[in-house]
């Protein structure tokens, strides 16, 4: 199908072109949906980062390698399903969600590490890990909703 | 940001492609082709036009054992798209609500 060049610049054409922009964004919103298990898997990996603070150092290093491998596999799975990659911290509502989530998870992990090492609260990393896993899973779905909202009103260009 | 129509972006398929690329970091050629419902040769021409204008970047990389072509919008392309969309919205000022 050969596309036509459009030299006309009437108001009606502008309306039609903007409708096409909306259609492209709606199509992208559908295509950009992650696999259903994606956010849960990422949540578990992130929760594990906090929980592993309670384990001996060699286990922590082993988990870091597992975390890296897990993230790599998640990226591959996302790209294979959607045919695209979207930076999590892209501008728009999505950046607010991503920064908020990173701050919450990083803060919880830091506090749990401090409680474990300095105050000897042995279950703090596990509790923080569980909260982070749930928050990151829910946050993933919130991020997707924010992305769809950005696409609807053209935010984040 | 100048609110003028950009002739490179104004073709419907290129406008849609730029909008898709503006919202993602990189999109597979096959995904864009499917979304626009055009042939490979038609999309290649559009990509070449955008690439020659400095609006799009093309990268080839192996993925899952096959060569895939990845498209992304350059900062120059993003700026041009923003100007083009602003011009379209400005033109709509005289259009009554449907």
A130 — contact with chain B (CB < 8 Å)? no
Residue B96 has pLDDT above 60, yes or no: no
The pLDDT, as a whole number, for residue A2 is 45
**Residues of B with CB below 8 A from A157's CB?**
22-23, 78, 81-82, 85
Of B59, B51, B42, B58, the C-alpha closest to B8 is B51
Q: Inter-chain contact A11–B92, Cβ cutoff 8 Å? A: yes
* Residue A21 to chain B, least CA–CA distance (Å): 6
For an interface test with A, give the residue of B1, B15, B19 to mutate (most A CBs within 10 A): B19
Q: What is the pLDDT of residues B33-78, one digit of tens each?
A: 999 999 999 999 999 999 999 999 999 988 777 889 999 999 999 9
* CA nearest neighbour of A56 among A134, A132, A133, A125: A125
Closest CA to A47 of A116, A123, A129, A137: A129
Give B24's contacts in chain A (Cβ within 8 Å): 28, 32, 84-86
Which residues in chain A have their CB less than 8 angstroms from residue B16's CB? 20-21, 23-24
Q: What is the phi-psi region of residue B6: left when phi exceeds 0, alpha when psi lies from -120 to 50, beta otherwise?
A: beta
pLDDT at A157: 77
Closest residue to B12, CB basis, from A6, A9, A28 = A6
The per-residue pLDDT for B95 is 56
Per-residue pLDDT, A10 = 66
Pairs of residues, one from chain A and one from chain B, whose beta carbons lie less than 8 Å apart: 108
Q: Which residues of chain A have pLDDT under 70?
A: 1-10
**Structural contact between residues B55 and B18, judged by C-beta atoms closer than 8 angstroms:** yes
Q: Which helix (H) or strand (E) holds B15?
A: helix B12-23
Mark yes or no for CB contact A3/B38 under 8 Å: yes
pTM of the model: 0.86
Residue of B nearest to A20 (CA): B16
Nearest CA in chain B to A14: B88
- H or E segment to which residue A93 belongs: helix A93-118
In order of A3, A25, A115, B27, B93, the CA distances from A9 in angstroms are: 17, 22, 65, 29, 13
Angle between helix axes B29-36 and B12-23 (nearest 10 degrees) is 130
Would the CB atoms of A84 and B27 count as touching at under 8 Å?
Answer: yes
Rounded Cα–Cα distance for residues B17 and B36 (Å): 8
Quick check: B4 pLDDT over 90? no
Better-predicted residue by pLDDT, A80 or B97: A80
Compute the distance between CA of residue A124 and CA of residue A134 in angstroms, rounded to an integer: 16
pLDDT, position A93 = 95
Quote the CA–CA distance of A105 and A141 in Å, as a whole number.
16
In angstroms, the separation between the Cα of residue B79 and the nearest Cα of chain A is: 9
């Amino acid at each position: 199908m050969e596309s036509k060049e459009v030299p006309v610049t009437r108001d009606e054409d502008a309306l039609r072109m903007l409708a096409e922009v909306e259609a492209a964004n709606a199509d992208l919103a559908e295509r950009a949906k992650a696999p259903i298990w994606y956010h849960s898997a990422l949540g578990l990996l992130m929760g594990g980062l906090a929980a592993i603070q309670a384990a001996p150092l060699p286990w922590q290093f082993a988990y870091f390698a597992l975390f890296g491998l897990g993230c790599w596999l998640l990226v591959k799975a996302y790209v294979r399903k959607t045919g695209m990659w979207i930076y999590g911290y892209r501008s728009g509502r999505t950046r607010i969600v991503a920064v908020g989530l990173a701050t919450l998870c990083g803060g919880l992990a830091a506090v749990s590490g401090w409680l474990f090492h300095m105050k000897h609260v042995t279950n703090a990393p596990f509790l923080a890990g569980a909260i982070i896993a749930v928050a990151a899973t829910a946050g993933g779905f919130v991020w997707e909703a924010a992305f769809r909202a950005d696409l609807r009103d053209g935010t984040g260009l | 940001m100048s609110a003028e129509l950009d002739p490179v972006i104004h073709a419907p398929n290129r406008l849609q492609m730029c909008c898709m690329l503006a919202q993602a970091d990189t999109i597979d050629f096959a995904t864009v082709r499917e979304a626009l419902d055009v042939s490979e040769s038609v999309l290649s021409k559009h990509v070449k036009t955008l690439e020659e204008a400095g609006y799009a970047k093309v990268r080839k990389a192996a993925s899952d054992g096959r060569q895939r072509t990845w498209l992304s919008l350059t900062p120059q392309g993003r700026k041009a798209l923003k100007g083009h969309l602003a011009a379209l919205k400005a033109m709509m000022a005289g259009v009554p609500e449907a």
